[in-house]
């Protein structure tokens, strides 16, 4: 690993109802653009998500995941749910060591909330719209970073039923443990991801073949762009490879908000990054649901060889070489 850190951006100018200083906004947009080009990751402060709510959510998460498995399984997904909404423990034969709670928007009838701790379900429901609000702000910033109108991505991606929030728990590694993977290296399939992590650490991003630890900072959200942005921008912004390493003797808790596109949305390189600039598209188009299900199959039925895992290369258009 290298002693390097990803950029941190102050979002306070974008969170004021009466609008912030335009010059400050412009600088922040430039910072986000550089971060998306160089890392695919950045951190944000003054993001508007109540810090007290985030702290309480981490406390309740720790309490819940410390319960016996029998208690946690009371929040198991209901049959017929489109995702494993509710409590799930990572499949035993996988190398990753984590468990989690997933939820759609609070209005979804598929959500399953823990009975205990008693206030946990309400805190989860309260957090979701705060993450959605900051996602809309960051989405607008990324639109502008790409040279698109501020509302371009919002208009393109205006159905919010596929957004997902997760409470994640990574079990501690032990001395001599041959496997310290909490979440093996991967790229996110979605549009934009947000992570709030406790002070344990373990989240790392790969840049130029080197792993950079994302040091936890109180009140800070980690943001990364996903495969959808990479395809739409025809590789102008790239989804970054990242992982979670389990620290020795310490469990890790975090929250992730996955800002998705609708499953029926057709995803392909935008003409602004192909025809308009004389560049061929680097990916064939696909419905997001198709790609999401292929990525889910990676997790539930992992192939024997790592190189057979489905990723964005599945849709890549081969480059023709002269001669």
Render pLDDT for 223-279 as a digit per residue (tens, 0 to 9): 999 999 999 999 999 999 999 998 888 999 999 999 999 999 999 999 999 999 999
Residue 292 in domain: no
pLDDT of residue 62: 96
Give pLDDT tens digits for 46-104.
999 999 999 999 999 999 999 999 999 999 999 999 888 999 997 665 677 899 999 99
pLDDT of residue 3: 56
Average pLDDT over residues 202-223: 94
Cα of 92 vs its chain's centroid, Å: 23
Buried/exposed 148-183: b ≥16 CB within 10 Å, e otherwise: beeebbeebbeeeebbbbbbbbbbbbeeeeeebbbb
pLDDT value at 221 more than 70: yes
Count of other CB atoms within 10 angstroms of residue 80? 6
CA dist 33 and 30 (Å) reads 5
Residue 95 in domain: yes
Residue 311 in domain: no
Q: What is residue 61's three-state secondary structure?
A: helix
- Work out the mean pLDDT of the chain and round it to a whole number: 91
- Domain enclosing residue 214, as ranges: 8-262
Question: How sure is the predictor about 114, in pLDDT bands with cuts at 50, 70 and 90?
Answer: very high
Higher pLDDT, 9 or 174: 9
Count of other CB atoms within 10 angstroms of residue 123? 18
Q: List phi, psi (to 5°) of 312.
A: -65, -25
Query: Between the CA of residue 81 and those of 95, 119, 127, 169, 308, what are the distances in Å?
Result: 25, 24, 22, 22, 27
Q: Which residue from 40, 46, 54, 50 is spatially nearest to 28, judged by alpha carbons?
A: 46
Give this prediction's pTM.
0.93
Residue 282 in domain: no
Residue 267 in domain: no
Residue 290 in domain: no
Residue 61 in domain: yes
Residue 297 in domain: no
pLDDT of residue 92: 60
CATH of the domain at 161: 2.60.120.330
Question: How sure is the predictor about 1, in pLDDT bands with cuts at 50, 70 and 90?
Answer: very low
Angle between helices 51-65 and 120-145 (to 10 degrees): 130
Question: How many domains is the chain built from?
Answer: 1
């Amino acid at each position: 690993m290298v002693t390097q850190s990803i950029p941190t951006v102050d979002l306070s100018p974008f969170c004021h109802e009466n609008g912030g200083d335009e010059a400050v906004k412009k600088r922040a947009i430039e910072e986000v653009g550089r971060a998306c080009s160089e890392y695919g990751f950045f951190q944000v402060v003054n993001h508007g998500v109540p810090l007290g709510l985030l702290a309480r959510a981490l406390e309740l998460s720790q309490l819940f995941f410390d319960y016996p498995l029998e208690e946690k399984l009371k929040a198991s997904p209901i049959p017929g749910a489109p995702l494993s909404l509710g409590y799930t423990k990572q499949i035993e034969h996988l190398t990753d060591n984590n468990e989690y709670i997933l939820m759609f928007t609070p209005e979804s009838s598929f959500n399953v909330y823990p009975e205990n701790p008693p206030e946990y379900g309400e805190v989860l429901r309260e957090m979701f719209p705060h993450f959605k609000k900051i996602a809309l702000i960051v989405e607008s910033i990324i639109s502008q970073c790409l040279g698109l109108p501020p509302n371009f991505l919002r208009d393109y991606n205006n159905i919010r039923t596929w957004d997902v929030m997760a409470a994640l728990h990574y079990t501690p590694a032990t001395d001599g443990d041959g496997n310290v993977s909490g979440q093996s290296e991967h790229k996110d399939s979605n549009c934009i991801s947000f992570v709030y992590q406790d002070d344990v650490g373990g989240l790392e991003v790969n840049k130029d073949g080197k792993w950079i630890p994302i040091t936890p900072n109180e009140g800070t959200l980690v943001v990364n762009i996903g495969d959808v942005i990479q395809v739409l921008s025809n590789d102008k912004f790239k989804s970054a490879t990242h992982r979670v390493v389990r620290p020795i003797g310490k469990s890790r808790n975090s929250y992730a908000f996955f800002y998705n596109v609708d499953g029926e949305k057709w995803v392909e390189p935008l003409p602004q990054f192909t025809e308009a600039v004389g560049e061929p598209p680097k990916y064939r188009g696909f419905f997001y649901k198709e790609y999401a299900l292929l990525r889910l199959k990676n997790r539930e039925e992992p192939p024997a060889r790592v190189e057979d895992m489905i990723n964005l290369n599945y849709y890549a258009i081969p480059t023709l070489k002269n001669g």
